[in-house]
Amino acid sequence: MDRLLIISNRLPVSVKKGDDGITIHQSVGGLATGMKTFYKKLDSTWIGWPGIDQQELNSEDNKYIHDQLEKERCEPLYINKRDLDLYYNGFSNKTIWPLFHYFPQYTDYHEEYWQAYQRVNELFAEKVLSIIKEDDFIWIHDYHLLLLPKLIRDSFPDTTIGFFNHIPFPSYELFRLLPWREEILEGMLGADLIGFHIYDYERHFNSCVRRLLGYDYSLNRINTGDRIIKVDNFPMGIDYDRFYQASLEIGSIKEEHKSRLQKDIETFFRTTSQRKLILSIDRLDYTKGISNRLYAFQKFLEKYPEYHDKVTLILLAVPSRSKVEQYQIMKKEVDELVGHINGKWGNVRWTPVWYFYRSLPFDDLVILYYYSDIGLVTPVRDGMNLVAKEFIATKTTGKGVLILSEMAGAAKEMSEAIVINPNNIEGIANAIGMALKMKVEDQIARNRKIQERLKRYNVERWSNEFLNSMKGVRTLQKRFLAKKITEETEQKIRSEYIKSGKNILFLDYNGTLVSTRDKSEYSPPDKELYEILDKLARDNRNEVVLISSRDRKTLDRWFGDKEYILFAEHGMWEKKKNGSWIKLNNQLRSAWKKIIRPVLELYVDRTPGSFIEEKSFSLAWHYEKTDPDYGAQRAFELKDELTERIINLDLQVMEGKKVIEIKNLGVNKGTAGSKKIGGDQYDFILAIGDDWTDEYLFEELPDNAHTINVGLKYSRAKYYCESHRDVRELLKNMCETEP
């Protein structure tokens, strides 16, 4: 693959300046730990903040750091102290972090933070643009850099950009609280691929985009009109073998090589098989549910006195964001709770909670995992949670029990764990009791299943899937990118048309033959349009097919006496030249209208200017005459609501221009078009339409068909033109060309 630029707030290594000069350490955290080993296997450069203020460095330091980081394939980006504070402690960790983790009560909305966030994202963009090369792949990580994809795209439109969000993406109800919500979404949509850990975050994001920006999505693609963006979920894995191997080695370390921590654990905890260790590891963060965990442990000690003197909770809380007030308050609460529990139940032989407030080196971390019988992971909200996965990876014998919060993304993949609700203190206490009593065979059976998955879907596989998906989006975009119709193409279409003996022309009505605004009943076809269509229809080589979403009556009134074939209601009805209307699908039903009509009526009552159009097998809610913003917002809400309501009704919800239509499944312009062509051989096929109901037709037609979309650049059509005027011009020129 081409060169990869990885961009995240922090580099995977941190620079420190102390008495012994400059030192470089491994950064702690999911992203750094996870990607550390594998990113060096690729032709890649990592851009991020090195963890130090450049003001503290002299030219010698700078040179040394530069050389060291170059070896690590890292490119440092320095941020001035004030901006760093406002952007990192401020907007990232006092605005986005709490809001995205469903803590609106901790969320600060300060213009000053937002300004700094924009400045720092721009700084990142400048850095990227100073080193970017054509064909580079750019992979941006996390919530600190939500604006970066668009900033890069604006200056480098053809580059391939992926964005991965490591934290949850909240539901619309939370996200809408953000004053800069549109800018954030637009920023993210600068990427070609947007990844989340689990489907729930993906669907929240899509719904926010639809409600706030008005871009629709289908399957997992968002079409902004001039680009297609893929949104998908990629549950992040761990470096499984590294944890598994490290744990295997611990078991065979000779006595004289054992570390202090290992010796202490063996001395104090492995005295009898009765003693059990519960492990809790997190950054000290209010999202991680550490106090809930302590309350639950306390409850457990109350409920199960038989375990006194036997069970110890090791609580490793890694200092984090200690400049943010909420974190300071929380630290105090945890300190007090630990003190309370130890004070109440501890004795000379037994300290119920072993509390570490620091970060440990990797080897010690694995020792803790290795000796623990129970992993207690109880976040109140967590994007994924890698600790849960690492705990299982170190259980080389298969023995051990994981208690996992259902609010962690990891719970979706690890259902064999004991899954708890972190707010249910009693429930967690019981889960601890259950874990202590779980039979060894049961433990092994559960863990082996999870291990198989973790081994297979490890961090390398995760990265590869993300990167391959990025490549895939580019191919997809090329496939969907209609070319602007040029004079040369028109010429080509015309010359094929002249030469051919049997032609079929599929023409949509609204937005294609008349302007989109002329949608009401009172703007019938004009003289010019009749002349063009009549002329085409008089040529007996041609079949002119008007394929519209309009109802039969209207089409009859306008074109009933014409020599055209008419398709009404997206192809539910067909009228041949001089014939009568026939239903194309006998499976069609309309009893469902009784259920759906009241929903639409409610929207009519609440949205002045909107109205319901009833067709034989469909209902449509039109909002072209409403206040544009309000109407659009209501339309998104309605679409969301209908998506839920139509389950099991065999219906589909289609969105046209300023209309939402509910109709029977399996009927669309594509099925009608292909039925019309049937086994007949046409030398020349032309299809023109303007909204996504026409996409079905473009897709169904044979490869040699000339397909033209009016307005949308991203379409299944081969070409696009600007407006209905261009369509008329093309058709006029065709009529005027004599064979």
Which of the residues 142, 508, 551, 694 is marked catalytic? 508
Chosen residue from 283, 519, 676, 713 binding ligand GDG by CB under 6 A:
283
Q: Measured from the CB of residue 288, what is the shortest distance to ligand GDG in angstroms? A: 7
Task: Mark whether 508 is an active-site residue.
Answer: yes
- Reduced to 3 states (helix: H, G, I; strand: E, B; else coil), residue 282 is strand
Q: Is 386 in the site for ligand GDG (CB under 6 A)?
A: yes
Chosen residue from 29, 76, 195, 422 binding ligand GDG by CB under 6 A:
29
- Spatial CA neighbour of 474 closest among 162, 172, 237, 70: 162
- Spatial CA neighbour of 221 closest among 208, 231, 235: 231
Contact window for ligand GDG (CB under 6 A) among 28-36, 170-178, 461-469, 709-717:
28-36
Task: List, in sequence order, every residue forming a beta bridge with 481; answer none if it has no partner.
Answer: 714
Q: Measured from the CB of residue 402, what is the shortest distance to ligand GDG in angstroms? A: 13
Task: List, in sequence order, every residue forming a beta bridge with 708; answer none if it has no partner.
Answer: 688, 719
CA Rg, the chain, in Å? Answer: 32
Q: Measured from the CB of residue 393, what is the shortest distance to ligand GDG in angstroms? A: 10
Say which DSSP state 203 is in. H
Residue list 215-274, contact with ligand GDG (CB under 6 A): 236
How many residues touch ligand GDG under the rule CB under 6 A: the total is 22
- Binding mask 288-317 vs ligand GDG (x if CB under 6 A, - otherwise)? ------------------------------
Of 367 and 533, nearer to ligand GDG (C-beta) is 367
Of 466 and 530, nearer to ligand GDG (C-beta) is 466
Chosen residue from 127, 153, 166, 519 binding ligand GDG by CB under 6 A:
166
Chosen residue from 89, 115, 245, 359 binding ligand GDG by CB under 6 A:
359
Of 175 and 345, nearer to ligand GDG (C-beta) is 175
- Spatial CA neighbour of 147 closest among 176, 185, 112: 185
What gap in Å lies between CA 551 and CA 728, rounded to an integer?
Answer: 23
Type of residue found at 122 = E
Q: Is 481 in the site for ligand GDG (CB under 6 A)?
A: no
Contact window for ligand GDG (CB under 6 A) among 40-48, 377-385, 646-654, 688-696:
377-385
What gap in Å lies between CA 210 and CA 334, rounded to an integer?
Answer: 41
CA 395 to chain centre: 32
Chosen residue from 75, 202, 382, 690 binding ligand GDG by CB under 6 A:
382
Assess contact for 256 and 291: CB atoms under 8 A.
no
Q: Measured from the CB of residue 282, what is the shortest distance to ligand GDG in angstroms? A: 6
What gap in Å lies between CA 510 and CA 659, rounded to an integer?
Answer: 12
Alpha helix stretches (DSSP H) within 483-627: 487-499, 527-538, 552-559, 593-606
Of 32 and 151, nearer to ligand GDG (C-beta) is 32
Helix (H) or strand (E) holding 163, with range, is strand 160-164
Assess contact for 162 and 7: CB atoms under 8 A.
no
Of 246 and 432, nearer to ligand GDG (C-beta) is 246
Assess contact for 661 and 618: CB atoms under 8 A.
yes
Q: Is 366 in the site for ligand GDG (CB under 6 A)?
A: no
Chosen residue from 384, 482, 555, 568 binding ligand GDG by CB under 6 A:
384
- Indicate the angle between helix axes 240-251 and 440-456, nearest 10 degrees: 140
Q: Is 198 in the site for ligand GDG (CB under 6 A)?
A: no
Assess contact for 127 and 75: CB atoms under 8 A.
yes
Chosen residue from 7, 15, 24, 28 binding ligand GDG by CB under 6 A:
28
Q: Is 33 in the site for ligand GDG (CB under 6 A)?
A: yes
Of 236 and 727, nearer to ligand GDG (C-beta) is 236
Backbone angles phi, psi at 566, to 5 degrees: -115, 135
CB atoms within 10 A of CB 131: 12
Q: Is 202 in the site for ligand GDG (CB under 6 A)?
A: no
Chosen residue from 280, 312, 385, 549 binding ligand GDG by CB under 6 A:
385
What gap in Å lies between CA 145 and CA 119, rounded to an integer?
Answer: 11
E runs forming strands in 35-108:
44-49, 74-76
Chosen residue from 123, 167, 513, 685 binding ligand GDG by CB under 6 A:
167
Binding site for ligand GDG (CB under 6 A): 28-31, 33, 166-167, 236, 281, 283, 318, 359-360, 362, 365, 382-387, 390
Q: Which residues belong to the active site?
A: 508
